Chain A
Amino acid sequence: MEAVGRPPPDWGHWGYSEAVLPAEFHYKTGPGSLVNVLAWIKGNPLAPFQGKPAGYLRVEKTLLVLGLTLRELDRVLFSEDGSAHFPDYLQDSPLTLVHLDKAIHGCKALLSTVNPGALGSSTNTNMDQSVTDNAAKGKKKPVR
């Protein structure tokens, strides 16, 4: 199994069996914290590895982490008081709109590195090229 940059949070997989993210996500530090997720995104989890572009499963897994992060932030920030089905740590989370902005910015930054301005095209030749170009420029050095 390959690893690119930082490892993803330990809850970032399809076997995760909770409807909400663990309390660790709301901590200021830790491998499963939002701070670490943002750093992981910043490291471009879709960067090519050993010259090969990201595979489908890696893209899917990256989207899972991003999506669960955004969903959790949405719950923290926009759920009405009295959402009793959410655990206390979520309702008392210190996360704010600033964190949501950072997560959204991370999505956009990731998008720009993968496929600048060419999404929605019927082919992804441009994406292929951009990923390859980034690798050639040494923007991201994958590490095992």
Chain B
Amino acid sequence: MTQKAVLGILSHWYKRQEAGKQWPLKFLKPERHILEVFDMGETENLNEGAGSEGEATEADGDDDEWRARSHGHPAVEVDGRPNRGEARGEKKQEESDTLPAIPSQVDISLRKLFLKSLSKEGGYQKLVELLDTADVSVVHLIGKRPILTNPLAGKYSGGSWSPST
């Protein structure tokens, strides 16, 4: 396929998109060198594993943005691809980066995150997971015997027991 043909297809697709059609043209993924011709930069590596004919290829950033607009939520892109999950991960990373290094300055709600950030050692990280497990255990054991309960959750503050320190 010549570059001229590709340009023609893309131009037509763009026109239909701008015309407000719900699902504009769906076409085969552009070849890598074509992407380079169109100077699509960072989206180049998205060719791998992209859809076949009949599928909406997400390699085109404009497509994602257009779809996002049409569905009323902003397009969140990671390396040119929409990925809200990774965006949340980034937010978590940002929170981790902004954690204070001093225990007394750590907000109660961030204590678990602070503890996780102290060391990447596997055994320690698994121990930190005990805190996650504690939240679950309340659901199962509150009727019998509360263990490792989370006083920060505030759900059972009115109970007849209090966590040991």
Whether the pair A55, B149 counts as a contact (CB closer than 8 A) is yes
A122–B141 Cα gap in the complex (Å)? 13
- Name which of B104, B137, B147, B152 has the most chain A CB atoms within 10 A of its CB: B147
Give the residues in chain B near A122, CB-CB below 8 Å: 136
A123–B134 Cα gap in the complex (Å)? 8
Whether the pair B164, A124 counts as a contact (CB closer than 8 A) is no
Instruction: Count B interface residues, CB 8 Å.
Output: 35
Interfacial residues of chain B within 109-149, with CB under 8 A of chain A in the complex: 111-112, 115, 118-119, 121, 123-124, 126-131, 133-134, 136-137, 140-141, 147-149
Whether the pair A123, B140 counts as a contact (CB closer than 8 A) is yes
Whether the pair A16, B103 counts as a contact (CB closer than 8 A) is yes
A15–B147 Cα gap in the complex (Å)? 25
Kindly state whether residue A84 has any CB partner on chain B within 8 Å. Answer: no
**What is the distance, in angstroms, from B133's C-beta to the closest C-beta of chain A?**
4
Interfacial residues of chain B within 141-165, with CB under 8 A of chain A in the complex: 141, 147-152, 163-165
Kindly state whether residue A35 has any CB partner on chain B within 8 Å. Answer: no
Whether the pair B106, A14 counts as a contact (CB closer than 8 A) is yes
* Interface size, A (range): 35 or more
**What is the distance, in angstroms, from B119's C-beta to the closest C-beta of chain A?**
4
Q: Which residues on A are within 8 Å of B, measured CB to CB?
A: 1-2, 13-19, 49, 52-64, 66-68, 70-71, 74, 104, 107-108, 110-111, 114-115, 119-125, 127-128, 131
Q: Which 4 interchain pairs have the tightest Cβ spacing?
A: A67-B118, A55-B163, A70-B119, A107-B123
Given contacts A52-B164, A55-B148, A124-B130, 17 further A-B contacts (CB under 8 A): A16-B102, A17-B105, A18-B102, A19-B102, A54-B164, A55-B165, A58-B164, A59-B134, A63-B124, A70-B119, A107-B121, A119-B126, A119-B133, A124-B147, A125-B140, A127-B130, A127-B133
